[in-house]
Amino acid sequence: MNVRVTSLLTFEDCPRRFFAENILGLKVPSAAADIGTAIHTVAERWYKEGKNFPGFKKAAEDEIKKFPDTLNIENVIEIAGLAKKFISVYGEGGFDYQVIPEIRLQIPVGRHTVSGQMDALFMPLFPGMPAKIVDLKTGRNRAVTKQLAIYAFLVVKSFGGIHDVLVRYEWVRLNEKDEYHYSEKNLIEIELWINQQVKQIDKALRKGEEGFTCNPGHVCAYCGYAQQCPATSGDYNPPVEDSIEDLAELPTSPELLTSEMAEKYASRLLALQGKVKQIENVLKIWTEKHGPLLVGDQAMGKFEKAAQRQFDVKKVIERCQERGLNPLEYITLSSTAAKKLERKIDLEGCYTEKPSPPTWSIKKVETVGLESTVNTVKETVEILAEDEKAVPEQPTVSSLVKDFGVFLKGAEAPQEALENVRVAYRCSESGKYDETFWDALMSAVAWQGLQNEKAQEIAYMIQQIENVAQAG
């Protein structure tokens, strides 16, 4: 079976939903998902069709026709606008990267395969540089998942010589980005996670529908299978775990517990906690539908809560000052508010760190190397192409030098030659066609081993660069 990366994440959230979508083939109409698909297609067409591209508006109109149940003429402006924002990403390759839009990679995992389609992959043209992945996100909820870490792993596995990958979530509606760096070392954990998920899918497949357990929770709100799902209708009996009775009686003193027993109790505790959460989730959904449950003198359900007071901080400060009180002794910045503020201003130096004593807790050992975060920035996305109609660009010196570099790389030119083109490219980017530029450019072709036709092509390219440089 081929498992898409997004389906692996679905399986982690709820195996039964994975079953509904991937085995039963359930597809729920979703305007949000179709808008995302349409934006990708319009951006890809702009890239691939060049001068034949019919314009963003027309391309968006073509797309909405493919989704008559969910999209209509009112979505055209939005699709065209967001596609325009996204194409600016394609221009980021510069001289050092080759951009590959909408690439699908697939790797074998056990007797299955795992595949993922990336919005834009930037492959380095020079050794030792990281590959880059940019993924367009059209949602309004800035939630980062393992998705791009898995894509990074697919890239490392599929292309030799890539040891580092920079990934970026591009939140086009929010004009924000999240960037992460994955090295081969971080990706070992991702590989383990993928293997584990695929193994569990394989195990479930062997058992049939029963093998795909329900995991009711917040994901049910977005699940197209919720109407038919036994968990949400209250008919679901979670599989029974081994009983705790098979464990030896818990000794009265922790001193008497052997490490083997401690490990067994720890693993059973986690299983029981998982079960409690599962029962709670089922009961939450059940009581929402049927009303509260009474158990002895306890009631379970959704109850009204006392309204929370929302303070007008400005007025509170004024009131304190009227009474001669220092408001800063009473008002603090919550960590949630600080995080929000930090997206707009740098708070470095505005706080001290208070060490907190260790507390007993159960926490997940992180599998995604979030410590490898490069940065999280709020940045306005540049819109390179404002024109409704894509106009084929005139070649510039730098674009010609770039093509020349790509050509030399394809002709397996030595590293030194590529370095020289790189120097020439940097000069051309800043509009300097001086001695350094020409020296670097000409040194790039002074290497042996060229076949005649390639030499002719190089001569033609140099001629073109000269013409454009002189015209400029």
Task: Identify which of residues 95 and 225 has a Cβ nearer to ligand SF4 in the complex.
Answer: 225
CB of 11 to ligand SF4, least distance (A): 11
Count of chain residues binding ligand SF4 (CB under 6 A)? 15
Tokens of 227: 């109407």
User: Is residue 226 a contact point for ligand SF4 (CB under 6 A)?
Assistant: yes
The residues near 248 (Cβ < 8 Å, ≥ 6 apart) are: 261
Which residue type is seen at 346?
D
Closest CA to 40 of 102, 91, 133: 102
- What is the end-to-end Cα distance of the chain in Å, rounded? 56
CB of 12 to ligand SF4, least distance (A): 12
CB of 113 to ligand SF4, least distance (A): 24
Q: Which stretch binds ligand SF4 (CB under 6 A): 10-18, 70-78, 286-294, 315-323?
A: 10-18
Q: Can you list the pairs that 226-231 forms with residues at least 24 positions away whose Cβ atoms lie under 8 Å?
A: 228/20, 229/16, 229/17, 229/20, 231/16, 231/281, 231/282, 231/285
User: Is residue 282 a contact point for ligand SF4 (CB under 6 A)?
Assistant: no
Interface with ligand SF4 (CB under 6 A), residue from 7, 147, 186, 215: 215
Cα distance between residue 71 and residue 63, in whole Å: 9
CB of 234 to ligand SF4, least distance (A): 12
Number of residues in the chain:
472
CB of 269 to ligand SF4, least distance (A): 24
Closest CA to 330 of 353, 354, 311, 349: 311
CB atoms within 10 A of CB 70: 16
User: Is residue 216 a contact point for ligand SF4 (CB under 6 A)?
Assistant: yes
User: Is residue 14 a contact point for ligand SF4 (CB under 6 A)?
Assistant: yes
CB of 29 to ligand SF4, least distance (A): 16
3-state secondary structure 272-319: HHHHHHHHHHHHHHHHHHHCCEEECCEEECCCCCCCCCCCCHHHHHHH
User: Is residue 220 a contact point for ligand SF4 (CB under 6 A)?
Assistant: yes
The interface with ligand SF4 within residues 228-247 (CB under 6 A) comprises 229, 231-232
Interface with ligand SF4 (CB under 6 A), residue from 225, 286, 425, 433: 225
Q: Which stretch binds ligand SF4 (CB under 6 A): 193-201, 222-230, 399-407, 419-427?
A: 222-230
The residues near 175 (Cβ < 8 Å, ≥ 6 apart) are: 378, 379, 380, 381
User: Is residue 278 a contact point for ligand SF4 (CB under 6 A)?
Assistant: no
**Interface with ligand SF4 (CB under 6 A):** 14, 16-17, 20, 214-216, 219-220, 223, 225-226, 229, 231-232
